[in-house]
Chains A and B, each alone.
Chain A
Amino acid sequence: MFACLIRFAFPVLFLALFLGAYRLLGKNMDRSQLTLERRQPRSISHRREVDPRIVSDEQLFAVLDRLQPPTEWTNTNVLLHALRLWGPLAEFNDDRVPSGERLRQYFLDDAAFRKLAGSDAPPLYRIDAETGQVHVRDWSPADPDRVSSSYHLNDILATLAETGTSLDTALRTRDGDTTVERLLDTAMGQMHFRQHEFEWSAISYARYVYPESGWRNDYGERITAAEVVRELVGPLTLTYGPCNGLHRLEAMVVLWGADQELGPATSRGDERARQRLRDQMLRYMRQVVALLEVSQHIDGYWTRAWPAGQKAQTDENASLSDHILVTGHHLEWLALAPSELDVPNEMVVRATQWVVRAIQEVDDQVLRRGYGPFSHAVRALCLWRSKDPYEAWRQYKGQQKSAADPA
């Protein structure tokens, strides 16, 4: 009887024992959660020799002075670009011009947001009561409140990262207080490789999260650094994506810079993997630079048709805004490009000098309307001189003041 009982129980006990052991082991194998080790975002800087011919201090001051933050609120996108250009420390000694901190608070505090966008503006962030995720109100053409929305997916998060915002920074929304960390957590959880406008997600990833890789997003899909790079280097066309596809290149150089900051790899396998990523990005960038050399107009600018090579020089349909948009964005990523990438200095000098002339000559109305693209161009000039825009502007202004009033 006992033997008979044991005979029946044996298979069950056998399986239960081994499966129990497997469960204990399996618990320790779970690496699907994203862990954020750093609190401060990475700062990516210019890594080339500074050539003063690119833009003089005087020219830099002149263009910066024209790009001061707007005195009147127009839309969220303009404020985002202003914050990105000037940084949170900027002070303009003029009550009408919002300071850098005020600009940053617009994105961190609903009270500051409502002060500028209007008290009846719908909130910029919404906290999901179930999950605690922080969702940003995104832009839609039919939305009557679109001007106060976020224009591109995760562009706010990427800008907060660029301006050195810690993950512990408080985010005061209409639904309650949270932190920037939750905003990042939501963005990384929602990140996937069919995402439209993937660029700002990649920038946020590079500045806050890299080299973390292999976590699973909210859908359970694995997100790896290799996949992020594959997504960046594998567009349908070179101009695929917002702003002529040029934020893709910006994301690439930021990711490259983040990788450089890591220092040498800890193992040979890791080094090989990282080298593979760098090679893929470098190949893509070389292809672009080769096209830029032949597509640059004699005056120094590029047009939206730049991937067409030489033919792009005679693009009659392009407007000044187009020229500024494309040239500014190109100069910006080139300024942060790795030293392994050969960027002809003459090409850069011609482009920067054209930008300076264009900004000085353009009237105020055009400048305000195209604040975003112009701010990219001016930021590029500062990067090429390895100067912080606000510091460059403040120092030159100080010098001017002391020259005018030696006493």
Chain B
Amino acid sequence: MSNSTASNSPAASGSARDIFPPVPRPIRSSDYVPQTSGATLAAVVALCGVFLLTSLNRLNHTDFWGHLCYGRWISQSGQLPSSDPFAARTEPAQPAGRFVNVPWLAQWSAYELYRLGGPQSLVFAHAAMAMAGCGWLMLAIAARGVRPGGAVAGGLVMYLLALPTMGTVRPQLWGVVAFPLVLLGISLLPRRSHPMFWLPVMFTLWANLHGSFILGLGVLAIWVLVSAWHVGQSTEDVGRWRPFWLIALCVIASCLNPAGPQLLVQVASFGGNPALEKIVEWGPLVIKSLGGVLFFGSLLVTCFVIRRSSRQFQAGEVVLLIIFGLFSLISLRMLVWWSILWPWVLVPHLLSCWPRRWETQDEPEYPDASRGTMRTLYALGCILVVLCWSPSSRAFITGQTRRMGELTSSDTPLYVADQIRWRKLTGNVFCPLDWGDFLIWRSDGAIKPLVYSHVHLVQPEVWDDYLRIYRGDRNWTQLADQHGLNYLVLSRTRNDTLRRDVEQHPRASILYQDEQSLLVQLLTAAPGQTNQASGSL
């Protein structure tokens, strides 16, 4: 300090400054301000970015509302449903006793959160969970011995790869938070024993939050078994049985749910319903899509890394990459798990391609502690800016409630749902399946769609009839009578054939219409009119 004071004094100015160029003056570190490292600052900035981007997403009009309906049902009745309570049918979709509502805890907690803070609290929770998932993955990558900068980059790569599926609020988000924790547990297990305690607890929660817990169990089992096989049984390490105990504990923990061990069978057979094949996100990955480009791009990078990596690939890594790569090819919905696993496996290898670049360090010009204060301020500033920018947090901070039109995606049937609510309509309805969930929600369950987003609960024959009505089949009135439909909610763009027929049909009375939808009441058939096709097609 005394040198710097001397150099700044008027007497010392001039020639002395020419001879001794000014050196950066260190900012004194404060004892009262927490110190932040460069890596932590990078992680904060990255996670703030993830939070901000995710909070720009609106509540999707699809299964999100269906899950919220289940949450409301559970909260209001104080029990779990034993059959589908919302669909337009009298008989359960599955034989009695086989109906298992896996994500009941996620549904219930989402509804309770909704009750507390309205729909914008769910947008906030969405952003927070995406951020948590990225953060855990950064830790999981760092736990593999990767430098913090690489770990932060890995977390961001995960977010990028998961973009096509990350925008939707659904119970799966709990899996996005929990899956990196499994990877963190795996990374820590050789050195630490604490995953033995928290991983089973997490699996108990996860099994009640979303069916993706089975993937977590799968990853854990594959990693442990393949690693054990690869290392061989010659090792005399006393802790070598620890991973096996962990698997057993996690499996037992997963069975602590309302369905018990049967849940494992139910979840494993989930994808078997033929109706799921017609849903785009359950369909195979299409190369000419954002998901396809990202997935195949990641495969190209994988090839490059395999060739250049100076770090040896472990058998578990290879097996996991192959299995999850195949899953992603089969179903777009699985891309999110690939997006978490891929950086965890690849980042250590990717960084080993240029070992020198990542190993060299700049000599600090002045003690690192003096930068720590400023980094803390930068980090807090970043958090502050993001909280003020992000629509979800801004709404909480300013106390300005955002209404449904600002929070929901543009395909949400807001206006027609409002009409149904205002007219107090009750009964069975045909509507595009992705609209069904919102209509159930807005009508407090008074409207029962033929099919809604829970297509895995639909019987094949109901699904076929739904598709026939959707396409404007000649015998749509017959099918409507067969299923006891009272109303039709039609999309102007997607049900054009049916709409044109309905507009002329004597049994159809249009109650409401706008540029998005039509609400039609089906009148009772006059004698001789029953089951007659309109013949206009």
- Residues of A bordering B, CB below 8 Å: 3, 6-8, 10-11, 14-15, 18-19, 22-23, 26-27, 29-30, 32, 128, 135, 138, 140-143, 192, 194-196, 216-221
Residue of B nearest to A19 (CB): B397
Given the contacts A216-B403, A219-B414, A135 and B422 also touching, CB distance less than 8 Å: yes
Are B509 and A142 neighbours in the complex by a CB distance under 8 Å?
yes
Docked complex: B482-521 residues within 8 A CB-CB of A = 509-516, 521
**B394 on interface, CB distance cutoff 8 Å:** yes
A130 CB, min distance to chain B CBs, angstroms: 11
Chain B residues, Cβ within 8 Å of A8: 34
Chain A residues in 8 Å Cβ range of B414: 219
- On whether the beta carbons of B515 and A196 are closer than 8 Å, the reply is yes
Chain B residue numbers with a CB within 8 Å of A10 are 32-34, 376
Set B384, B394, B398, B516: member contacting A27, Cβ < 8 A: B398
Could you list 19 further interchain pairs (A-B, Cβ under 8 angstroms) beyond the known A11-B380, A143-B509?
A: A3-B31, A7-B32, A7-B34, A19-B384, A19-B388, A19-B397, A22-B398, A26-B397, A140-B511, A142-B509, A192-B514, A194-B415, A195-B415, A195-B515, A196-B513, A216-B403, A219-B403, A220-B406, A220-B407
- Complex Cα distance, B419 from A135, in Å, reads 11
Q: Inside 8 A of A11's CB, which chain B residues have their CB?
A: 34, 376, 380
List 18 contacting pairs A-B, 8 Å CB cutoff, sorted by A.
A7-B32, A7-B33, A10-B33, A11-B380, A14-B384, A15-B383, A15-B387, A22-B398, A29-B398, A128-B422, A140-B521, A143-B509, A194-B415, A195-B415, A195-B515, A219-B403, A219-B414, A220-B407
| Distance from B43 Cβ to chain A, minimum over Cβ atoms (Å) | 15
Q: Cα distance A35–B376 when bound, in Å?
A: 44
Q: Are A194 and B509 in contact (CB under 8 A)?
A: no
Q: Which B residues between 410 and 441 are near A, CB-CB below 8 angstroms?
A: 414-415, 418, 422
Docked-complex contact A219 and B376, CB < 8 angstroms: no
B398/A15 in contact, CB under 8 A: no
The listed residue (A30, A135, A140, A218) touching B510 by CB distance below 8 A is A140
Residues of A with C-beta under 8 A to B33: 7, 10
Binding site for A on B (CB under 8 A): 31-34, 376, 380, 383-384, 387-388, 394, 397-400, 402-407, 414-415, 418, 422, 509-516, 521, 523
Q: Provide the residues of chain B in CB contact with A6, threshold 8 Å.
A: 32
The answer to whether B380 and A196 touch across the interface, beta carbons within 8 angstroms, is no
Q: How far is the CA of A11 from the CA of B387 in the complex (A)?
A: 14
Which of A26, A27, A143, A217 interacts with B405 by CB under 8 Å?
A: A217
Question: How many Å from the CB of B334 to the closest CB on chain A?
Answer: 35
User: Interface centre among A3, A15, A142, by most B CB within 10 Å?
Assistant: A142
Q: Determine the residue in chain A with the shortest Cβ distance to B403.
A: A220
Bound-complex Cα distance A192 to B410 (A): 13
Chain B residues, CB < 8 A from A29:
398
Least Cβ–Cβ distance between A133 and chain B, in angstroms? 9
Please state if B509 and A141 are interface contacts (CB–CB under 8 Å): yes
Q: Which residues of A contact B512 (CB under 8 A)?
A: 138
Q: Which residues from A are CB-within-8-Å of B406?
A: 216, 219-221
Which of A27, A30, A138, A141 is packed against the most chain B CB atoms within 10 Å?
A141
A138 to B33, CA, bound (A): 65
- Complex contacts, B514 vs chain A, CB 8 Å: 192, 194-196
Query: Which chain A positions have C-beta within 8 A of B509?
Result: 140-143
Q: Are A194 and B516 in contact (CB under 8 A)?
A: yes
**A195–B415 CA distance with the chains assembled, in angstroms:** 9
A19 to B380, CA, bound (A): 11
Cβ-neighbour of B402 out of A14, A140, A220 (below 8 A)? A220
Distance in angstroms from A266 CB to nearest chain B CB is 27
| The 3 residue pairs across chains A and B that have the minimum distance between CB atoms | A220-B403, A142-B509, A219-B405
Give the docked Cα–Cα distance between A136 and B523 (Å).
23
> B415 contacts which chain A residues (CB < 8 A)?
192, 194-195, 219
* Chain A residues, CB < 8 A from B31: 3, 7
CA distance A200 to B380 in the complex (A): 51
Of chain B, the residue at the smallest CB distance from A28 is B398
A220–B405 CB distance below 8 A: yes
A22 and B414 alpha carbons, distance in the complex (Å): 32
What CA separation (Å) do A218 and B512 show in the bound complex?
18
The reply to whether A26 and B407 contact each other, CB–CB distance below 8 Å, is no
How far is A27 from B511 in the complex, measured between Cα atoms in Å?
40
The residues of A that contact B387 with a CB separation of less than 8 Å are 15, 19
Residues on B with C-beta less than 8 A from A26 are 394, 397-400
A194 x B515 contact (CB < 8 A): yes
Complex CA gap A138/B402 in Å reads 29
The chain B residue with its CB closest to the CB of A9 is: B32
B402 contacts A15, C-beta separation under 8 Å: no
The chain B residue sitting closest to A17, CB to CB, is: B384
Residue of chain A at shortest CB distance from B388: A22
Partner of A18, one of B384, B510, B513, B515: B384
Within the complex, which residue of B34, B399, B510, B516 is in contact with A23, where a contact is CB–CB below 8 Å? B399
Are A30 and B376 neighbours in the complex by a CB distance under 8 Å? no
Contact across chains for A142 and B405 when beta carbons are under 8 A apart? no
Write out the residue numbers on chain B whose beta carbons fall within 8 Å of the beta carbon of A32. 400
Closest residue of B by beta carbon distance from A18: B384
Expressed in whole angstroms, the minimum distance between the Cβ of A200 and any Cβ of chain B is 14
Chain B positions within 8 Å of A141 at CB level: 509-510
A141's nearest neighbour on chain B, judged by CB, is B509
Give complex CA distance A128, B424 in Å.
12
A196 to B517: give the CA distance in the assembly, Å: 10
Hey, which chain B residues are within 8 Å of A218, CB to CB? 403
B121 to chain A, nearest CB (A): 16
Query: Across the interface, do B521 and A142 meet the contact criterion of CB distance under 8 Å?
Result: yes
Residues of A within 8 A of B32 (CB): 3, 6-7, 10
- A140: chain B residues within 8 A (beta carbon): 509-511, 521
Distance in Å: Cβ of A93 to nearest Cβ of chain B: 43
- Which chain B residue shows the least CB distance to A143? B509
Would you give the shortest CB distance from A37 to chain B, in whole angstroms? 22
Q: Which residue of B lies closest to A146 (CB)?
A: B509
A338 to B233, CA, bound (A): 93
Nearest Cβ on chain B to A109's Cβ, whole angstroms: 24
* Shortest Cβ distance from residue B499 to the other chain A in the assembled complex, whole angstroms: 13
Bound CA–CA A55/B516 (angstroms): 44
Q: Are A219 and B404 in contact, with the CB atoms below 8 A?
A: yes
Residues of B within 8 A of A18 (CB): 384
Residues of B within 8 A of A138 (CB): 512
A195 to B512, CA, bound (A): 10
Looking at the assembled complex, report how far the CB atom of B57 sits from the nearest CB atom of chain A, in whole angstroms: 16
Residues of A within 8 A of B34 (CB): 7-8, 10-11
Report the minimal beta-carbon distance from A90 to chain B, rounded to whole angstroms.
35
A192 shortest CB reach to chain B, Å: 7
Q: A138 to B398, alpha carbons, bound, how many Å?
A: 38
Q: Is B405 a contact partner of A23 (Cβ separation < 8 A)?
A: no
How near does chain B come to A241, taking the closest CB pair, in angstroms?
11
Chain B residues within 8 Å of A128, by CB = 422
A392 to B376, CA, bound (A): 80
Q: Which residue of B lies closest to A12 (CB)?
A: B380
Query: Which of B397, B398, B414, B422 gathers most chain A CB within 10 Å?
Result: B398
| A15 CA to B414 CA, complexed, in Å | 36
Chain A: CB-nearest residue to B492: A194
- Give the complex CA separation of A18 and B384 in angstroms: 8
Q: How far is the CB of A376 from chain B (nearest CB, A)?
A: 24
Q: Say yes or no: A14-B380 contact (C-beta < 8 A), given A22-B388, A217-B405, A220-B403.
A: yes
